[in-house]
Amino acid sequence: MADIDEIDTSNLAYGRTEWDDHHHLPTNTGLTNEKVTMWAFLGSDCLLFGALISTYLLLRNRVGPATSGPTAADLFDIPFTSVSSFVLLMSSLTMVLAVTSIQRAEMDRCKLWLLTTAALGSIFIAGQVYEFTSFYREGLGFTTNISSSAFYTLTGFHGVHVSLGIVMLVTMWVLVSGGQIGPERAETIEIIGLYWHFVDIVWIVIFAVVYLIP
Amino acid sequence: MAITEERPEILELESGDTSFSTGAFARPTNASGWRAWFFTVDHKKIGIMYGAVAMFWFLWGGVEALLIRAQLFTPNGTVLTAEQYNQIFTMHGTTMVFLVIMPLAAAFANYIVPLQIGARDVAFPRMNALGLWLFVFGGIFLNLSWFLGGGPDGGWFAYAPNTGVTFSPGAGMDFYALGLQIAGIASLVGAINLIVTVLNMRAPGMTMLRMPVFTWMILVVQFLLLFALPVITVALILLSFDRTFDANFFNVAMGADPLLWQHLFWIFGHPEVYILILPSFGIVSETLPVFSRKPLFGYSVIVISGAAIGFMGWGVWAHHMFVSGLGPVGVAAFSATTMFIAVPTGVKILNWIATMWGGNLRFTVPMMFSISLVSMFTIGGLSGVMHSVAPADTQQTDTYFIVAHFHYVLFGGALMGLFAGMYYWWPKAFGYKLSESLGKWHFWILLVGFNMTFGPMHIVGLQGMARRHSRYGPEDGFDFWNAVVTIGAFVILIGMIVFAVNIVRSWLGYKAGTIPQEPADPWDARTIEWAIPCPTPEHNFDYVPVITDIDDFWHKKYQPDENGKLRKIADGNEIAQKGDQSPHLPSPSYWPIVLAAGLPLIALGLIYNLWVSGIGLVLLLGAMFGWSLEPATDPNAGHDDHGDDHDPDTNAPDGDEGGDAEVAEEAPVG
Ligand code: HEM
Ligand SMILES: [Cu+2]
């Protein structure tokens, strides 16, 4: 994409160049506005998760004098969560495939990979629902102690992020199927892909910091 | 002109299906009257509304301040009960920070930044409107608490656990937590929008280092907002979860750590103080050179130190917690970083002084306000450096000395700069200048009142008068200065009444024709927002301005002759664009205001009844749906445009890179 600063600037007086409503001027960065928006949002979201993760780390072992409730860490089922983490990781791969296929104008493949990505994400969410339920059965509610509040809040926020991603993926699948999105709008899928990868990376951090580090 | 071109077929871009792009509902037209404001997506109207609403809250925050001062006028004041006092001082701070200074800065950012970079609007006009309405509804929501059982009472910093249900059982803190959340989303939306606008939509030739300093400072502030807001979002979420869903984050009985809130709040809070001051730093970096008739001394140094403040501002937050038991290492480290951050701040002050040094000063009202920023802020900066010395701060913290400090930086700094900006850009926004003589009355009364109010606070503060207390005793010996302070507060009120009179009289005079319409360049200014008529035409620029210099407009008016002496080569009003083109613009939309209205309903429901949240959610989702079906520019409004959700002068991935820069038949005089 052309750099706007390379445009001929030899005209000194104001008003040589006409606004052009039909042909977009290139942007200064060469990235579209939508893409810069997503990057900015993700930058902001990093701090959201940063604050939530720090909060969890500070509070992970606090159960309080009055309770006998377990901490979340007492109940972790590492093999189970490893599998669901792996599923989420694989969904990043399928997301890449969806983006490449729409860039190559292979719409059927794109649809397939979009759906696969959404499905893998859903499996992850199902795993989280299962995990939460079994923790709850074992006596760890949201209000049981400080560490449980922190655990559910952090992982819950991540779950909401994944779920929003699934909604976006399914919407894309509908739009691609209906022909409203064609190869010329590959970037829309690419931008959603950015979001999806981000959510995956955050999970890797959460999995490492919350589940694996004792 | 493009007007005559035939309908482009590119409408299909939105979806590939033209009927899909036209939206599910009729959309508002550019009509006049209140609709023109409520459904507008024009950055200028949005900027003016930000300013007007913020001035309303300024009035209300001022009433709260006067109530505080009335209570403290004499020892053992009886104007307010202790409970009322807590609510009033909490809402005074919250209002002034979140509903006055931040939106006033947003007003200038919205109005001026697109003009200074030569753009036709911001990157996402409807998102811009959404930010405005979220701010409006967030402010209303916060203040609803007055009618529903009492305002928040935990201070603007809302230290938890003190703000948990145990110690603050009323609904006030819920309104605080949720109201700030709404205002926070507003700022986040605005920040992303402005970042994209500045990074992507600068006129050809305007490199980052040719950008006006105001635009630079706004850009830095938007990045600070981008990274600071999520932190307070998390803090507020934790607090709300505690209060609403019985979570335990701040439950001391369960072994909570009271420092958790303080860390989260001040990691947000210190960048926030720069969010409040940097826009004003930007404003005076525009006005001082114009009224000194000299270029800004050390443009790049000012820009770099502004960015440096933005970075370093992240490493000093615990100076608000020196007495909270951080331990000697933490205290020493944060003490040192705090001392360091005064360096780039001081550099800026020296640069402004050097800008004025030897200049041909014109003491207009905007200039006077700018100079008072430089001097009053310096006083506040110096007391700030005093707090950075932790042993000294141990004596000063939680006393009126701190109150004096932050009012010198916020009122003497941020607000004075914003007033400078109002007087300076008023003709650009409304076509006429505010009266200079009334403006000088406004200035002097305000300056005297300000120093009378906040100067003595240094003294009573060092004598040990504690802040946040509703009473002091007759035996404390604080009476005299407190009486002075209260009188000073009423002097400020008089100054502000003069300002209101100025606004009304100048407007009436303009209507009656006794106050002239200003030409494009009434101040002989330096930046390109003055290269278009006053008031700004709806479409901003007739033609894309092409930028070749810092202070580009100045260089088109003044050039050195053979001897290197500056000579006027053109008159600003003549080379300015005429504003006589009528390109089509992004169309108005209902959805931003409807979407924004959903959030306070959801928040109300969280406090009272989840069914209300349900209604809010329906509104929210409905508006999102309507929004996504509606192209940014109404294909039926006059002349057509692409159906994509951004301003015409951005590039969509549509692979058509046709005419970047067509040459107009006739260039304006120049
Ligand atoms: C020269 C730079 C500055 C330094 C070194 C500085 C230092 C400090 C310190 C150490 C405190 C904590 C005092 C205490 O509570 O014991 C403080 C409080 C405060 N500062 Fe500054 N400051 C500076 C500039 C600013 C600016 C530019 C603003 C706002 C525009 C500001 C607004 C505040 C506010 C609002 C508080 C009080 C917060 C509260 O407790 O409610 N400061 N400052
Ligand atoms: Cu600070």
- Dmax (CA) for chain B in angstroms is 83
Q: Do the domain assignments include residue A5?
A: no
What pLDDT, on a 0 to 100 scale, did the predictor assign at position B14? 32
Q: Do the domain assignments include residue A7?
A: no
The reported pTM is 0.90
Residue B23 corresponds to which tokens in the numbers above?
């939206």
Is it the case that residue A95 has pLDDT exceeding 90? yes
Distance CA A199, CA A193 (A): 10
Here the ipTM equals 0.90
* Cβ(B22)–Cβ(B581) below 8 Å: no
Protein residues placing their CB within 5 Å of the ion ligand 2: B 270
Contact of B8 with chain A, judged by CB distance below 8 Å, is answered with: yes
Q: Do the domain assignments include residue A52?
A: yes
Domain around A129 = 32-212
Over residues B50-58, the mean pLDDT reads 97
Is it the case that residue A4 has pLDDT exceeding 70? no
- Judged by CB atoms closer than 8 Å, whether chains meet at B230 and A16 is answered as no
What pLDDT, on a 0 to 100 scale, did the predictor assign at position B34? 82
In chain B the domains, ranked by start, together with CATH numbers, are: 42-589+630-651 (1.20.210.10)
Structural domain count of chain A? 1
Within 8 A by CB and 6+ apart from B33, the residues are: none
Contact of A104 with chain B, judged by CB distance below 8 Å, is answered with: no
Give the residue carrying structure tokens 């972790």: A76
Which chain B residues are within 8 Å of A44, Cβ to Cβ?
188, 192, 226-227, 229-230
Give A203 to chain B, closest Cα distance, Å: 18
Contacts of the segment B319-325: beta carbons below 8 A, 24+ positions apart: B319/B270, B319/B387, B319/B388, B319/B390, B319/B393, B320/B262, B320/B266, B320/B269, B320/B270, B321/B259, B321/B262, B321/B263, B321/B266, B322/B390, B322/B393, B322/B394, B322/B397, B323/B393, B323/B394, B323/B397, B323/B398, B324/B259, B324/B262, B325/B259
Q: What is the pLDDT of residues B64-97, one digit of tens each?
A: 999 999 999 999 999 999 999 999 999 999 999 9
Distance from the alpha carbon of residue B156 to the mean position of ligand 2, in angstroms? 14
Q: Do the domain assignments include residue A131?
A: yes
What pLDDT, on a 0 to 100 scale, did the predictor assign at position B29? 65
Which chain B residues are within 8 Å of A59, Cβ to Cβ?
249, 256-257, 260
CATH no. for residue A51?
1.20.120.80
Q: Do the domain assignments include residue A23?
A: no
Q: Which of B16-25, B323-332, B357-366, B512-521 has the lowest mean pLDDT?
A: B16-25
Contact of B574 with chain A, judged by CB distance below 8 Å, is answered with: no
Vertex B324: Cα angle to B322 and B328 (nearest 5): 55
Over residues B257-274, the mean pLDDT reads 96
Q: What is the pLDDT of residues B581-630, one digit of tens each?
A: 777 777 888 899 999 999 999 999 999 989 999 999 999 999 998 888 88
Handedness of CA B562, B568, B574, B575 (dihedral sign): positive
Q: Do the domain assignments include residue A4?
A: no
Q: Do the domain assignments include residue A60?
A: yes
Q: Do the domain assignments include residue A22?
A: no
How far from B424 is each of B216, B558, B560, B601, CA to CA, in Å? Answer: 18, 21, 27, 39
